[in-house]
Amino acid sequence: MPTVNLNKKEFEKLVGKKLPLDKLKDRISMLGTDLEDIKGNEIIVEVFPDRPDMISEQGFARALSSFIDAKTGLREYKVKKSNEKVIIESSVKDVRPYTACAIVKGIKFDNEKIIQVIQMQEKLHVGYGRNRKKVAIGIYPFEKIKTPIYYKALDPEKIKFRPLEFPREINGRQILSQHPAGREYAHLLEGKKKFPVFIDSDNKVLSVPPIINSHETGKITEQTTDVFIECSGFDFEVLNKALNILVTALADMNGEIFSMELNYGNKKITTPDLRSSMINLDLKYTNKILGLNLKENEIKKLLEKMGYDYKNKKVLVPAYRADIMHQIDIIEDIAIAYGYENFQEEIPNISTIGQEDEFEIFKRRIAYLLTGLDLLEASNYHLTGEEFLNKKMNFNSDFIKVKKAVNNDFNILRTWIIPSLMKTLSENKHYDYPQNIFEIGEVFTKGKTETGIKEYCRLGVTLCDKEANFTKIKQILDYLFRMLNLEYTIEDTEHSSFIPGRVGRVIVKNQKVAYIGEVSPKVITNWDLTMPIVALELNLSDLFDTI
C-alpha cells in the first residue's frame, strides 16, 4: 500500500474543519485508511490501492471533509473548452496506443505544491499505474509548449533531447542505459523498434513515456501557472480515471480545468470527462448485506457522507472514483459512513467444529511438491481479456463475459490457467532464465447450474528456458502422480496452442484430466517471448473426484 505524507496545515485548510488530534486520528482510521502517525505538521497514512483518489492532500481532504459532515455530497468540477488539440498518430498503436490529456490553468505553484504534485504523480505510477506499465503520467509547463501536440512513435535514435535533471542531450536508446529512470523502466520498452514520444508544434520533445520528461519542456517550477497533463497506456478508460484524479486535485489547488480534443484519425474524443456515472442501488439488498434496517433517506445521508449523490434509487458516482464497479462497492462505503464501530456484534446460534477442507489439503500438497522441484508459485486474477485468453493463445474458448466491465483487460472470466502464466512470463522477461512457474486457481465455464457458470480448480505449470522440452514437463507430471500414487496414460490430441504432435491428453481412470505439451512458436511470439515454453494444465477438481 502506498504511504502518503500529508501537510497537516494544508490538509486541515482543505477539509474546512479543524478537529482535535484524537478525533482526527479516529476519523482518519474509520475512513478506511491506515493511519501510521501524526507528528508535528505531518500526517502519515497508508492509502489502500483501491482509493488512488486519496493519495494527495486534496483528494484525502475531499474524502474526509464529506466523512465528517464538513462538505458533504457530490463535488462538481467545471471543465472549460480550450480548443487545443492532441494528434495521436497510428504509429503508437503497437507501442502504447492511448492517451488522455487536459490543461489546468491558474495554479500558483510554490515549493510545497510542486512536492505535492510530484508525490501524487509517483504514487499513481506505483499503485494505480502498476509501476508505469498500466498508466504513465506526464505533467508539463504549458507556457513552454506550442500546440497542437503530437503523440507518435519514432526510431529511438531519432528522438534527441535533454532528459529531466540530466546534464546533456542524448537519444531515446541512450536514455535506457544512461539515465536513472531509463535504467529503471527500460523493460517497459524492451524489444520495441519504435518509442512513443510527445512532441509539440515546434518539434520540441516533451517526453518519452513511460520513461522521462524533457528538462526543457517537462519541468514544473515556481514560475509555472498552467500545466499540460497527459496519461498514456493501453486502456483508455483507465487513463481517463487517472486523468480525472489528477485534474480534480489540481482544481482543488484553485486551478481551472480545460478540456483538449484528442484526434485519433477518424475518431475524436474530448478529455477530461468529469460527468458522474450512475449505479442502481437495491435498498433491500443493501440492508440484507449490512444486517440493518436503513430507510431511504438515511441511506441518502450516508452516501452524501462518502461524496456521492443519490436520486431516484440511483447513486451518482464521482468521475475520480476508480474503485466503484458494482453496487457492492457502494454498500461498503455505506458501511464506512454508518461506522463499523456502530455495528452490533452477534454470536451465531449454530455451534460447529471446524476442520480444514480435504480439497484444500490436497491443493496444498500439490503446491508443496512443486515448490520442492524449485518452481515458483504465481497468483493471477480470475478476470482476464479476450486478447490474452484466446487471441494470443491462438485458441477459441467459449468464455463468460462480465457485464458493464470498466476495463477490457479484465472483462471475461478465464477458462484455463496457461494464458495467465504466459502473461506472467511476458511481464518478467527482463529477469534471468529459467523461469519455471505454476499456479493453482479457479477457472470458469458455461454449465447447467443455478448461475449458468461452472467453477473448477486447476493447476497450470510452465517451464520457460532454452532447454525446455516435452520430456521435462512430463518429468514434472511423472513426479506429481508418483507422489499421489496414481497411474496415468497419455494419448495424442490436437490443441491449437501447442505444437502438433507434441501435445497430449492425460488420462486417469478413464477420466481426461490434463493437457501437456510444447507451446506453439506462434503463441510464444504473440506474447513477445523468445524462449521455448512447455506447459501442463491439470484439472484438480476432476482429479480429486476421480481419486
Whether residue 146 contacts residue 132, with contact meaning beta carbons closer than 8 Å, is answered with no
362 and 494 inside one domain: yes
pLDDT at 535: 97
136 and 57 inside one domain: no
Whole domain around residue 114: which residue ranges? 79-271
Evaluate whether residue 74 is within a structural domain. Answer: no
Cα–Cα distance list, 188 to 22, 151, 184, 185, 208 (Å): 45, 18, 9, 6, 12
84 and 63 inside one domain: no
203 and 299 inside one domain: no
441 and 477 inside one domain: yes
The C-alpha cell of 87 is what?
494528434
206 and 85 inside one domain: yes
Work out whether strand 400-401 and strand 489-492 pair parallel, antiparallel, or are unpaired. Answer: unpaired
Q: Which amino acid is at 85?
A: K
Cα–Cα distance list, 250 to 75, 322, 342 (Å): 14, 17, 35
Count the Cβ atoms, other than its own, within 10 Å of residue 327: 17
Q: Which amino acid is at 84?
A: E
Evaluate whether residue 352 is within a structural domain. Answer: no
Scanning 37-179, the segments in alpha helix (DSSP H) are 57-67, 111-126, 172-178
Evaluate whether residue 284 is within a structural domain. Answer: yes
The CATH number linked to 210 is: 3.50.40.10
Model-level pTM greater than 0.95? no
Count the Cβ atoms, other than its own, within 10 Å of residue 168: 9
Evaluate whether residue 370 is within a structural domain. Answer: yes
Cα–Cα distance list, 12 to 16, 60, 188, 255 (Å): 6, 10, 39, 19
pLDDT at 352: 82
289 dihedral zone (left: phi>0; alpha: psi -120 to 50; beta):
alpha
The CATH number linked to 332 is: 3.30.56.10
Nearest of 318, 432, 267, 340 to residue 27 by alpha carbon:
340
pLDDT at 1: 61
The CATH number linked to 452 is: 3.30.930.10
Count the Cβ atoms, other than its own, within 10 Å of residue 17: 12
pLDDT at 214: 96
Residues 506 and 348: their CA atoms lie apart, in Å, by 46
Evaluate whether residue 349 is within a structural domain. Answer: no
Residues 410 and 210: their CA atoms lie apart, in Å, by 22
In the listed set 236, 271, 306, which residue is the last one of a domain according to the structure? 271
Evaluate whether residue 326 is within a structural domain. Answer: yes
87 and 190 inside one domain: yes
* Number of domains, the chain: 4
In the listed set 230, 251, 271, which residue is the last one of a domain according to the structure? 271
Evaluate whether residue 347 is within a structural domain. Answer: no
Cα–Cα distance list, 347 to 288, 352, 355 (Å): 17, 13, 20
The C-alpha cell of 413 is what?
472470466
Residues 334 and 298: their CA atoms lie apart, in Å, by 10
Nearest of 193, 199, 89 to residue 145 by alpha carbon:
199
In the listed set 271, 296, 328, which residue is the last one of a domain according to the structure? 271
367 and 507 inside one domain: yes
139 and 236 inside one domain: yes
Cell 494527495 belongs to: 56
Determine the Cα angle at 504 with ends 501 and 508, to 5°.
160
537 contact partners, CB below 8 Å, separation of at least 6: 416, 417, 418, 458, 459, 460, 461, 514, 515, 516
Residues 2 and 55: their CA atoms lie apart, in Å, by 8
* Three-class DSSP labels, 420-452: HHHHHHHCCCCCCCCEEEEEEEEEEEECCCCCC
154 and 204 inside one domain: yes
Phi, then psi, of 540 in degrees rounded to 5:
-70, -30
267 and 308 inside one domain: no
The helix or strand, by DSSP H or E, that contains position 28, with its residue range, turns out to be helix 21-30
Residues 453 and 446: their CA atoms lie apart, in Å, by 5
Segments of the chain with pLDDT less than 50 = none
pLDDT at 231: 97
Cα–Cα distance list, 334 to 28, 31, 263, 301, 470 (Å): 16, 11, 40, 9, 54
366 and 477 inside one domain: yes
Evaluate whether residue 83 is within a structural domain. Answer: yes
